[in-house]
Every structure is written in C-alpha cells, then in structure tokens.
Structure 1
Amino acid sequence: MNKKNLWSITIVLAISVAILYIDLKATPFKQIIHAASSMNWSFFGLIFVMMLLSYTCEALILSVLAKRKGEPKRGFWSFFRIPIIQTLFNAITPMSTGGQPAQLTAMIQMGIEGGRATSLLLMKFIVYQICVFLAYVSTIATGFHLVKTKFSTLAIFIVIGLLIHVVSTLFLLAIMFAYNFTKSATIFLMKILRKIFPAEKVDKWQENAISKIDTFYGESRKLKNEKQKLLKVTFLTILQLLLFYSIPYVVLLALNVHASWLEVTQMNIMITMIMAIVPIPGASGGAEYSFQTLFSTFISSSGTLVLGMFLWRLATYFFGIILGIFGWSIKPKKISSSKIN
C-alpha cells in the first residue's frame, strides 16, 4: 500500500465523515439513537454475511475460469482476496479505475502468468458486463417510473449512467458478434480523427483500440466454446449481483422498515448507475445523496434514513475497504502454473 493509495483512503474517509457530519447536524441525534435501539440485529448480521457471499461468488467465478487440465490447485484465499482487493482499489480511485489493475497484480502474486491472468479477467468482465447490462435495462423498463415523477434531477443522472453502460456494452457485443464490422468502423473513425488530431497520436489510439478488439474477440470465442463453464460463471454472476443489489432491502429489514424487495432493489440498481458517473473515489457524496433521496420513499423518519444510509455504506463500501487492506497485506503462497499437482 503506497502513499498515493493511503492519501486516496484518507480523502474518501474525509468526504464520508463530512457528509455524515452534515447529516448528523441536520438530524436530531435522539432520532438516530432511537432507530438504532430498535434495530433487528439478526438482519444486521445478515447484511455482512451477504456481502461475504457476494465476494465468495466472485472468487468462485475466477476459480471456475482458471480451472483447466494441468492447472495446479490453489487455495480458496488465493481467489477470495482478488474481489476484495478489487473493491479496495475501486473504492479509492476515481470512476473505479484501479480495480482491474489491482486484480491483475493479485493474480500474478498467486502465481498465474500475466497474460493468462489478463485473459481470465477479461472473460469474467465480459459475463459481468452483460449481466449488469440486462439488470440495468430491465430496471429502467420496469422501475424508472418510481423516480421519474418524484426525483426528476436524479432521473437525468440515471439516464446518463445507463447510456454510458449501454454504449460500452453494445460495443462489447459488437466485437463478439460483428468482429469485422467493428474493426472496420474503428479504422474509419480513426481516419476522421486524423483530420482533427495529430496523426502520430491517432495511430497510437488505433493500435491500442485494434489490440483490445482482437483480445476481446479472442476471449469471447473461448467463452462460447466452453459452454458448461460459461453457464456456471453466468449463474454465479447473477447470484453475486442478486446478493449485492439486495443489501439495501436487508438494511431496511434491520431497521424494521418493510417494503417491496423488487422496488428497493430497483432503486439500488439506479443508485449504482448514478455512482458510475461520479468522478470521485467511491462516488463519495453522490452515493450518500442518491441513497437518501431515493430511499426517502420507504423511510419517513430522518433518523432512520441517516442510519440506513450509514449501514448501507458501511456494508457495501467501508467493509470492502477493510477486507481489501487485509487481502492486500496477506499474500497467498505463489504457485506457478508450471507446477502440476
């Protein structure tokens, strides 16, 4: 953990503490104490169990993808530390840009060769991106009316977040199913950009883009050829997302607030869309504001609402940071892929 990462954690904590201070200042402390005193501690514990299960699903996804003839057997901790390290670096970098490189480093530390580690992460990313895309589209189709009339400002950000994800996912699907067209379209786009930007710079962009297109296409073909593995990974990814997206519902149950699981989960998915476009580590500020705005639909007491927001961020954000620090610190035994058990 270098100084830059420590500074990122400090900034995130400072923003979160400032937001919590503002909330506490605006909300009578007695209301928060009252909400906490009547909390259902069984559901409180379940919140963190579900987060651990979500990380476990992701670890199993990597384990399934890594399994092949001649691949050495590695312990559960080797795979489990990868998603928690990803969570840590997603939390402390703008737009969650640090998660992928951190995962790659963690896989190399456990003895998986860099090229193969990149391949495994790409396959996981392809399945995850498509599953999240389907979750976003189905939520907008069935639940957007929940925010359109009451929270028009947030609705705009939700649409922007969705559009960004739709464009990136459609591009990914185009690579998988229209490889030649996508490659030709990219080269045509670069020709246009050469009229605006220096040719040398655009040449580098084109080389990088074509390389990534080729890599994605190659990994997508591998996935399509391993249908049993693909089905297992898809199932685990859906389970992982269900666990994660259901956390706010369990938070409400912990606070003795009863609501529709479907509506609460739809709200949470829309919050995730907003968080995707907040250019601050961990989407600090935007996440808390979005949660309180959207979940005021289900919670009438301001004290309960603030406590619910704190529990949600504690479980989905700070809990992951704490686990990620341990994961980064406790390295697994390095087992080279050349060592066959």
Structure 2
Amino acid sequence: MNKKYLWGIIIVLSISAGVLYFDLRNIPIRQLQHVAQNINPVGLLLVFGLMLASYLFEATTLAVLAKSQNEPQRSKWAFFRIPIIQALFNAITPMSTGGQPSQLAAMIQMGIEGGRATSLLVMKFIIYQVVVFFAYVVTIITGFQMVATKFAGLALLIAIGFLIHISSIAFLLATLFAYTWTKKVTNVLMTFLAKFVDAKRVASWQKNVMAKIDSFYQESQKLKKEKKKLLLCCGLTILQLLCFYSIPFMILVALNISADWINVTQMNIMITMLMAVVPIPGASGGAEYSFQKLFASFVSSKESLIVGMFLWRFVTYFFGMILGIWGWIFKPKRVVDQ
C-alpha cells in the first residue's frame, strides 16, 4: 500500500476524531457510559452480522458470475476478500475512486486473468447499479418529502447526490438499451467540449468513454444470455443492499429505541446519496453530520444519538477498513484459469 493511501487513512482518522471530539466535549462521560452499558448485546451482534452478510452476498454474487464449466475451484476466502478490499480503498480515496481498481487487483491475485476479471466486475457493476437505481427512485418518491420538510439544507444536498447517482445510472441504462444512440450523443458532446477544452485531452476522454460504453454493452449481452444467473445475482444484490441499508435500524434496536424500519432505511439511503457530494475520503465529516441531523427525529437524547452515530460509522466504515487491511495482507492461493 503506497503513501497516497496511507495519507488517506490519516486524513479519515483525523477528521473522524475531530468530529467525535466536537460532539463529545460537552457531554458527561457518565451519560455516555450509561447508554453504552444498556446496549442490547444481541442487537449489537446483529449490527455486525448485517455488515458481514452484506459483504458475503456481494462475494457470492462474484462467485456466481465467475462460475463456468471449466472454472477451477477457488476458496471462499478468495472471493470474500474482494468486497472487503473494495471497502478499504473506497474508504481512503476521494469519491470512492479506489474501489474498482482494488477489486481488479484482488481478482488477479487469486489467479483470474485481467481481462476476464474486468469483465466480471463490469457485470457485477451493471447489476448493482440497476438495483441501486430502483432503490434510489423508490426512496425519493416515498421519503424525500419528509426530509425536505424538516431539513431543507440537507434536502438540497441529497437532491444533488441523487442527480449525480441517477445521471451515471442513466448513462449506463442508455448504453444497455440504446447503444448506438448513446455513442452518437457521446461523440456530439465530446465534439462540443473540444471547443472549450484542450483537444488532445478531450480525445483521450472520448477514447476512454467509448471503451467503457463498448465494455458495458458487451457484458450486458452476455448477461442477457444467462437469465438464471442474472436473476440469481439480482436477488443476491438485493439482499446485499437490504442488509447494508438495515444497519441503522438495527443500531436503534441495539440502543433499545423503537422506530419504523421503512422510515429509518429511507433515511439511510438518503445519507448514501448525500455522501456522493462530499469529496473527502469516506465523506468524513459530512457523513457524521448528516447522520446526526437526519436521525435526530428518531433519537431523543444527544448521548444516544452520538453513540448511535459512532456505531454506524464504525460498522459501515472502519470495520470494513479493518477487514480490508487483513484481506490485503492475507492473500489466497493463486489458482490460474484453465
């Protein structure tokens, strides 16, 4: 792991420590201890269990996609380390830019040829984005009014995050269902952009975008031919996201706070959208702030809210970083494709 990523870890830890200090400075330690001592241990175990299950479903999705007639037997650890390594590099790079390259590196380390590994990751990305698309749209339709009424400032950021996500997903869907039209529109946009930006740079961007369009389209055609595998992977991805999005609700259960699963889950999905507009590794600072603002309506005491925020951040962020470091260190046996 190079110095750039180590600096990412240092930045994340520093910002998170600063946020915690700011939140805790006016709260007596005894009150925090009282909240911590009354945590439901079964609920706490389920919180960590949901995060592990989310990683497990994601790893299983990759294992299903990779399965073929001549595929050599690979260990479960080889596939499980892929999502946790992604979690590590998503956490320490701005806008989660390190996640995809780290997955590719992990798959090559386990013996999957680079081109095939890229193909598998593209297929997983397509499935994930389609499922996320429906989750975001349903959440905005059913829950955005509640946020807009209570938190106008955050509602604007959530709307921006939603537009960022949806624009990328819309581009993907256009590639899948209007391949020729998408390439024509992209060429027109790049030609227009070349009037304002260096032509060589635009040409490089155009080449990369066209390569991605071709890759997405080719992999989508493969998925269409394997409908059973496609449906199974969609089901696994739905379970993956249900586990991840349900973590805040389970944290409230662990804190002995009654809440509605649907409302809490909607809030969590909106926090995910908001984090897209925070250009700091792991959206540090913005994530903690938005969690406290949005979940204040469910938690009456400041102490419980701070403890809940810490648990949520640790389980969904630092827990993945810790697992990812172990995954990066302990490499699986390399089994080369036949």
Corresponding residue SS for 1:74: coil
Aligned counterparts of 1:312 and 1:133: Cα–Cα separation in 2: 23
Aligned counterparts of 1:207 and 1:315: Cα–Cα separation in 2: 39
CA contact (8 A) 1:183 1:210 kept: yes
Which 5+ residue runs of structure 1 have no aligned equivalent? none
Corresponding residue SS for 1:207: helix
Aligned to 2:103: 103
Residue correspondence of structure 1 range 92-241 to structure 2 within 5 A: 92-241=92-241
Aligned counterparts of 1:113 and 1:150: Cα–Cα separation in 2: 51
Q: Tell which deviates more after alignment, 200-209 or 109-118.
A: 200-209
Moved over 4 A (4+): none
Letter in 1 for 2:240: Q
Coordinate RMSD, CA, aligned: 0.9
Aligned counterparts of 2:250 and 2:46: Cα–Cα separation in 1: 7
Letter in 1 for 2:311: L
CA contact (8 A) 1:131 1:237 kept: yes
Residue correspondence of structure 1 range 266-305 to structure 2 within 5 A: 266-305=266-305
Aligned counterparts of 2:203 and 2:321: Cα–Cα separation in 1: 39
Aligned counterparts of 2:200 and 2:307: Cα–Cα separation in 1: 54
Aligned to 1:39: 39
TM-score (norm 1): 0.98
Aligned to 1:333: 333
Once the two structures are TM-superposed, the CA of residue 33 in structure 1 deviates from its matched residue by 1.3
Letter in 1 for 2:275: M
Once the two structures are TM-superposed, the CA of residue 58 in structure 1 deviates from its matched residue by 0.5
CA contact (8 A) 1:29 1:303 kept: no
Please list the CA deviations of residues 148-183 of structure 1 after superposition, one character each: whole Å capped at 9, or x if unmatched: 111000000110010011111111011000000001
Once the two structures are TM-superposed, the CA of residue 100 in structure 1 deviates from its matched residue by 0.3
CA contact (8 A) 1:249 1:264 kept: yes
Once the two structures are TM-superposed, the CA of residue 130 in structure 1 deviates from its matched residue by 1.0
Please list the CA deviations of residues 172-221 of structure 1 after superposition, one character each: whole Å capped at 9, or x if unmatched: 01100000000111111122122222322222222221111111110111
Aligned to 2:253: 253
Question: Percent identity among equivalent residues?
Answer: 63
Corresponding residue SS for 1:68: coil
Which 5+ residue runs of structure 2 have no aligned equivalent? none
Once the two structures are TM-superposed, the CA of residue 138 in structure 1 deviates from its matched residue by 0.3
Once the two structures are TM-superposed, the CA of residue 8 in structure 1 deviates from its matched residue by 1.3
Aligned counterparts of 1:322 and 1:26: Cα–Cα separation in 2: 30
Corresponding residue SS for 2:270: helix
Aligned counterparts of 2:322 and 2:200: Cα–Cα separation in 1: 44
Residue correspondence of structure 1 range 47-126 to structure 2 within 5 A: 47-126=47-126
Once the two structures are TM-superposed, the CA of residue 69 in structure 1 deviates from its matched residue by 1.2
Aligned to 1:313: 313
Corresponding residue SS for 2:322: helix
Aligned counterparts of 1:145 and 1:198: Cα–Cα separation in 2: 43
Once the two structures are TM-superposed, the CA of residue 31 in structure 1 deviates from its matched residue by 2.1
Once the two structures are TM-superposed, the CA of residue 30 in structure 1 deviates from its matched residue by 2.4
Aligned counterparts of 1:202 and 1:283: Cα–Cα separation in 2: 29
